[in-house]
Structure 1
């Protein structure tokens, strides 16, 4: 920008000099020289100022010397100062498609994980990030991207293929989020969320997972059948013990006199419908005749 400004100023001065020597038409030369000079002057003045936009911070560097972090607003600077801006808004790092993470389970099976890492910079660490990476794009490519892929692989390596594909996906996503945050926070990179979007097993692992799921289902059904059989056997045992106890109690309470009394009562009730009813009551006893008409 500075060199362009100097070039325009030089062009304007040259045109004004040519006007005085009447090399061409004076009016056209005058207008061209003045416009070139004004534009060059404005460009020259712009090299002394820099505006940091909202939701941005900037780091100035002058002849190899890195300055402090600039907050949003207007800042004066030397024409020799280069300014690098960093956005403080969250940025999505999408590891999908060609960047899908190939991972291995604890059993050695291959899975493919699509992961999105939402990150942003800590404004207080902008100068350190500039010295470490040099630009926002470099921060993502040199720091966030490789560290995130490494952690995703390490976490999946501690789980089986079935866990990574089905049962433990939420727990795995939470663990990845925690470890990436712990890794990058000291460098001034804030993790605003990790989304484990999709996990796809390789064909061979897919078959193994399906076989394992079917085996687990069969085992669960067998265990349920065993528990049901045990419960039914326990119920029959309790019923048998209750019946035996009741029979024992009844047998202990029955006497000949009690049986005779209950037998007579029963025949009295029967005689209400039959005028005469005769039957022995009790072992070795004489027949008892009940006449409902005579009582």
Structure 2
């Protein structure tokens, strides 16, 4: 804008000098218009508007000034202002920017991460000195530090933890460390979202084989447990049968058998003609009741 002001003023002077010795009024009008345009351009060059949710860093002849907050500001025409947004910016590390990490076992995984970060207005001057622009802050500070932390955290966990069991814990640890690393530099990290973790093809094959082995082991353990339980059941059943036989053997004495035969004889004699056959352990043994009416 300041360069435009100088050019318009020079044009006004040239037009005035050329048209001074001529009778045409066009030269004078052109000179006047150029002069007015130069003055307006100069006025605009001394005004700078900082938008809402932005902070401006003024630089005059290489000297960095005090940050400019949202609103209208008057400045020297020789002052350049670099603006930084204070709203959260999404840094998406996926697809071609996905983070390749290695577990503590050496397995390769690919982590998709989204980081929301914003410039702290009070630290905008320091960030300008470190990077120079909004894009440079992300490329020189946020991206490399975040990638380093993500790799370091995954390196402390096994492939299975990184892929399945400890995803939430890993995400929380990454968020805490990224915030801790970038906060002193004036970068406010609001959220770190570990969106997805995908194993490499080789690691996926290893995981599938391990799962199959674990399933086979579980089936073998279950089969052994079932066989052991069945063997224990049969042992208990056999012991119970043996104890019952011993009790029965002790209880079936000659006197008991004799009394049972007498009771049976009485019952049979009430309804049908019967005859008795002596039997037992001796000649006077217990009689056997036989129904004579049946063949």
3-state SS, counterpart of residue 177 of structure 1? helix
Q: Which moved more, 1:212-221 or 1:144-153?
A: 212-221
Equivalent residue number for residue 15 of structure 1: 15
- Structure 1: state its 5+ residue gaps: 289-295
Displacement of 1:117 after TM fit? 1.7
1:91 aligns with 2:76: no
Contact persistence 2:56–2:82 (CA under 8 A) = yes
Equivalent residue number for residue 56 of structure 1: 54
Equivalent residue number for residue 151 of structure 1: 149
RMSD between aligned residues: 3.8
Report Cα offsets for 1:31-65 as digits up to 9, x if no partner. Answer: 33233222221221122221110111111122232
Contact persistence 2:113–2:194 (CA under 8 A) = yes
**Selected match of 2:43 from 23, 26, 45:** 45
The two structures have a TM-score, normalised by structure 2, of 0.76
Contact persistence 2:257–2:286 (CA under 8 A) = no
1:220 aligns with 2:218: yes
Equivalent residue number for residue 78 of structure 2: 80
Displacement of 1:78 after TM fit? 1.5
3-state SS, counterpart of residue 78 of structure 1? coil
Equivalent residue number for residue 293 of structure 1: none
Distance change (3 Å), C-alpha of 1:233 and 1:191: farther
Displacement of 1:15 after TM fit? 1.5
Distance change (3 Å), C-alpha of 1:89 and 1:286: same
Equivalent residue number for residue 292 of structure 1: none
Equivalent residue number for residue 5 of structure 2: 5
Distance change (3 Å), C-alpha of 1:198 and 1:22: same
- Whole-Å separation in 2 of the counterparts to 1:130 and 1:74: 21
Which has the larger Rg? 2
- Whole-Å separation in 1 of the counterparts to 2:167 and 2:182: 22
- Whole-Å separation in 1 of the counterparts to 2:136 and 2:263: 106
- Whole-Å separation in 1 of the counterparts to 2:244 and 2:94: 76
The two structures have a TM-score, normalised by structure 1, of 0.76
Displacement of 1:74 after TM fit? 0.9
- Structure 2: state its 5+ residue gaps: 290-295
> Superposition pairs for residues 75-224 of structure 1, below 5 Å?
75-224=73-222
Displacement of 1:263 after TM fit? 11
Q: Which moved more, 1:97-106 or 1:196-205?
A: 196-205
Distance change (3 Å), C-alpha of 1:255 and 1:210: closer
- Whole-Å separation in 2 of the counterparts to 1:16 and 1:151: 66
Contact persistence 1:267–1:277 (CA under 8 A) = no
Displacement of 1:262 after TM fit? 11
Distance change (3 Å), C-alpha of 1:20 and 1:153: same
- Whole-Å separation in 1 of the counterparts to 2:158 and 2:84: 40
3-state SS, counterpart of residue 195 of structure 2? strand
Distance change (3 Å), C-alpha of 1:72 and 1:235: farther
Contact persistence 1:96–1:114 (CA under 8 A) = yes
Contact persistence 1:84–1:135 (CA under 8 A) = yes
- Whole-Å separation in 2 of the counterparts to 1:219 and 1:122: 56
Contact persistence 1:111–1:199 (CA under 8 A) = yes
3-state SS, counterpart of residue 191 of structure 1? strand
